[in-house]
Structure 1
Amino acid sequence: MSFEEKSLVSSIDFNNVPENRVTMIVGKGQIVYWQGSNVTVYEIDDEGQEQTRKLVDMRNGQGVVPDGVKLYITKGKVKEEF
């Protein structure tokens, strides 16, 4: 299954979230929100090979992280909801 990034919902509150340095998120079906971050997605393709893609134009966003997907997030702020 692949990761589908979406625009960040404006109602997400990051006020009490500490600044992120580096976070690796392993997919468990949780929703992840990020603000002002650099995000790299690690996914397994249809042939079982790991593929990497950087979300260059999406420093603010969100998405459901399915099993088999990892997000490497630097800087900004990150929230997870299970």
Structure 2
Amino acid sequence: MEFELIAHLAAHPDRVYTRRRLMELVWQQTPTGDLRTVDVHIARLRRKLGPEHRALIRTVRQVGYALNRFRSIA
């Protein structure tokens, strides 16, 4: 699910998704209870991205998550 999650966020950079919407789009199920599973997957992705890239996944407080658009460094 981590791959599907980051792939979806990468396909729509800078777009903020609620936990509920991510469950619907990525897990393809209607959330009925705790949405913290999304938080757990985001935390795992950030650990795998490492300190240099973990900030690519942006937390929008009280809303959800977004993937920051990749910017080239010149």
Higher helix content, 1 or 2: 2
TM over 0.5: no
TM-score w.r.t. structure 1 length? 0.26
Q: With a CA cutoff of 8 Å and minimum separation of 6, indicate the structure with the bigger relative contact order.
A: 1
Higher strand content, 1 or 2: 1
TM-score w.r.t. structure 2 length? 0.27
